[in-house]
A and B are shown apart, each in its own frame.
Chain A
């Protein structure tokens, strides 16, 4: 079993839709949770960062962490064609340096 599981998709939605992306994880020691966006042939870029449980909102993006269920989500409101990319969840321990454990990524396609 992988430490971090993520549905690979692809997920295809019409422009303007609300998108929900999710990851589950097995190690309860993870404390820091991040979402990265990766465009084709580019490196990942940080979208959202959350420490421990709770919600965080930034513009059209909302990240949720439920540590009791070992489940994290990223919501994208009013999705745009420019949001078409692969979304990677990542997480790390509190005392294990800065190594990130990534999910496999979900490919999102937003159609005009």
Chain B
């Protein structure tokens, strides 16, 4: 079974520039999540999709972050404009509906490491 694919692996941009990250979840996983992991901290949920609908985006800084999941498969997370404090690893995860709180858990991608200078 292929894992969660994310690209790019690394990105360096200047503050106020824009950046986009892409995620392809495991086939058949209806639920997709974007987490932000700042160095030395645990991941923090930004947004959760079920199919192509948003379930929870309460912690997404909507003035600069946006995300979409067209056709309920791939997802894109965008930051515009970026700030220095956005430097972090952006993790995408997916799960079968209703199994994140179970022995199946999430499957995480390896993340995109963003550095804003």
State the A residues within 8 Å of B (CB): 4, 6, 8, 31-32, 34, 36, 41-46, 49, 51, 88, 90, 92, 94, 97-100, 102-105
Question: CB within 8 Å of A: which of B82-110?
Answer: 91, 93, 95, 98, 100-106, 108-110
Nearest B-chain residue to A96, judged by Cβ: B56
Asked if B95 and A98 sit within 8 Å, CB to CB, the answer is yes
Chain B residues in 8 Å Cβ range of A90:
42
- Max chain B C-beta neighbours (<10 A), residue from A8, A41, A43: A43
The 5 closest A-B pairs by CB, nearest first: A43-B108, A102-B42, A98-B100, A46-B105, A32-B101
Q: How far is the CB of A10 from chain B (nearest CB, A)?
A: 11
Answer yes or no: B55 CB below 8 A from chain A CBs. Answer: yes
Asked if B40 and A100 sit within 8 Å, CB to CB, the answer is no
10 A-B pairs whose Cβ atoms sit less than 8 Å apart in the complex:
A31-B101, A43-B91, A44-B91, A49-B105, A97-B48, A98-B33, A98-B48, A98-B98, A98-B100, A105-B41
Cα of A92 to Cα of B42 in the assembled complex, Å: 14
